[in-house]
């Protein structure tokens, strides 16, 4: 993995298997032999590094290369780390022609490797971690963002009923339930008063837009969860479906839109808010919205500012929850202090979007 160039090869993200996350290669070889065309010979394992809540491994055999995702070992809440949902959604989307890794097998027998898991094909390509795409030319940057938009448009053009996902989540009142959920979590975990957060919670609660026809929403759609073709501006695979559900597709679009509105210095992937987009060749978010609307058959998007404020608020609430959990374990945890410094700027950015949308 080359640091500082804003991208890495998918293979480069793997390392030695961490202590406590070991998998019996003999057991996995036998499973592959019995449940796939692969012989399971000469099997080796590496673990992808990073923040996946579901441990993820690179599996190499004499016959092929795969990715394995599993529930974490140990006692878990029954509904947590639902990798069966991940496998179901990528299976349906792969069949529908979406760029997702080809599913291989799902195993709910915890005696095989110690927890439920699934296997999917390994997709080689480029993952971009710096949103400014520093190693690309202006034309290449624009093409990458257009490809990301077109792929999201294709996802949101699919009818969940037609692809067998009509019961994949509760579609009604998606935004209302989301605002309520994250407001409660924020209130339960807040460590200081942030007036902007209180104002944006009240405004979001009182101004929920009407329901949209439900679509499959990814929940974390951004460049770092997309694998691009090694040589073309083409999405080869969408990764990390653990937050996927049915809901308002515009929440997905504007989550991706946070690349343009996130305060600078908040996220290691950077922000486009302080960049010269014309010089970089990266389209403004308004242009992205126009392209998305053209691809999905929309005349435009009402309440766009609401969705922008919602996503900034949601991320602020998530980070506040992380801070509270860290402080509960160690009141002087330096990482918690660093995380805490991100909450207020996100809340203020959310309120700024709300004000642009008419909040007073």
Backbone phi, then psi, for 163, in 5-degree steps? Answer: -105, 15
pLDDT tens for the chain, 360 residues long, are 233 334 333 334 678 888 888 999 999 999 999 999 999 999 999 998 765 578 899 999 999 999 999 988 754 444 445 899 999 999 999 999 999 999 999 999 999 999 999 999 999 999 999 999 999 999 999 999 999 999 999 999 999 999 999 999 998 999 999 999 999 999 999 988 999 999 999 999 999 999 999 999 999 999 999 999 999 999 999 999 999 999 999 999 999 999 999 999 888 899 999 999 999 999 999 999 999 999 999 999 999 999 999 999 999 999 998 888 777 765 445 666 778 889 999 999 999 999 999 999
Q: Write the CB contacts of 150 (distance below 8 Å, at least 6 apart in sequence).
A: 291, 295
Decide if 198 contacts 273 (C-beta within 8 A): no
Backbone phi, then psi, for 223, in 5-degree steps? Answer: -55, -35
* Cβ-based neighbour number of residue 129 at 10 Å: 16
Longest dimension (CA), the chain: 65
Structure tokens at 32: 């592959």
- β-sheet bridge partners, residue 65: 60
Decide if 68 contacts 59 (C-beta within 8 A): yes
Q: Is the dihedral of CA 270, 274, 276, 282 positive or negative?
A: positive
**Separation CA 312–CA 258 (nearest Å):** 7
Structure tokens at 141: 């940057």
**Separation CA 145–CA 233 (nearest Å):** 9
Q: Write the CB contacts of 119 (distance below 8 Å, at least 6 apart in sequence).
A: 32, 36, 59, 66, 67, 68, 103, 104, 105, 106
pLDDT for the residue numbered 329:
67
**Separation CA 112–CA 70 (nearest Å):** 11
- β-sheet bridge partners, residue 47: 15, 57
pLDDT for the residue numbered 9:
36
Q: Could you report how far apart the first and last alpha carbons of the chain are, in Å?
A: 47
pTM of the prediction? 0.90
**Separation CA 303–CA 307 (nearest Å):** 7
Backbone phi, then psi, for 196, in 5-degree steps? Answer: -60, -35
**Separation CA 115–CA 18 (nearest Å):** 16
Domains and CATH numbers, the chain: 7-121 (3.30.200.20), 131-356 (3.90.1200.10)
pLDDT for the residue numbered 249:
97
pLDDT for the residue numbered 327:
75
Reduced to 3 states (helix: H, G, I; strand: E, B; else coil), residue 128 is strand
**Separation CA 42–CA 58 (nearest Å):** 14
**Separation CA 58–CA 17 (nearest Å):** 10
């Amino acid at each position: 993995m080359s640091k500082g160039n804003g991208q890495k090869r998918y293979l480069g993200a793997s390392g030695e298997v961490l202590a406590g996350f070991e998998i019996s290669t003999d057991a996995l070889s036998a499973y592959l032999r019995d449940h796939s065309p692969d012989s399971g010979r000469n099997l080796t394992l590496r673990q992808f590094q990073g923040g996946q809540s579901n441990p993820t491994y690179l599996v190499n055999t004499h016959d092929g290369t795969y990715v394995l995702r599993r529930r974490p070992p140990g006692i878990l809440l029954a509904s947590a780390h639902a990798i069966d949902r991940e496998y179901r959604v990528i299976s349906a989307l792969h069949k529908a022609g979406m760029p997702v890794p080809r599913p291989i097998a799902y195993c709910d027998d915890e005696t095989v490797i110690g927890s439920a898991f699934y296997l999917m094909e390994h997709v080689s390509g480029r993952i971009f971690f710096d949103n400014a795409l520093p190693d690309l030319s202006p034309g290449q940057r624009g093409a990458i963002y257009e490809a990301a938009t077109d792929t999201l448009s294709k996802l949101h053009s699919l009818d969940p009923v037609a692809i067998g996902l009509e019961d994949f989540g509760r579609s009604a009142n998606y935004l209302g339930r989301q605002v309520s959920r994250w407001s409660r979590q924020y209130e339960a975990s807040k460590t200081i008063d942030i007036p902007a957060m209180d104002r944006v919670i009240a405004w979001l609660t009182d101004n929920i837009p009407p329901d949209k026809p439900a679509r499959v929403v990814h929940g974390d759609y951004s460049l770092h969860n997309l694998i691009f073709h090694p040589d073309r501006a083409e999405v080869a695979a969408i990764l990390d479906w653990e937050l996927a559900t049915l809901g308002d597709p515009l929440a997905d679009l504007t989550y991706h839109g946070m690349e343009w509105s996130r305060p600078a210095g908040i996220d290691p992937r950077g922000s486009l808010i302080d960049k010269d987009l014309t010089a970089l060749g990266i389209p403004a978010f308004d242009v992205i919205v126009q392209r998305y609307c053209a691809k999905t058959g929309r005349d435009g998007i009402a309440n766009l500012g609401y969705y922008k404020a919602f996503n900034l608020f949601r991320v602020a609430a998530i980070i506040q929850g992380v801070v509270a959990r860290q402080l509960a374990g160690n009141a002087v945890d330096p990482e918690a202090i660093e995380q805490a410094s991100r909450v207020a700027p996100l809340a203020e950015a959310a309120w700024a979007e709300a004000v642009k949308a008419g909040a007073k």
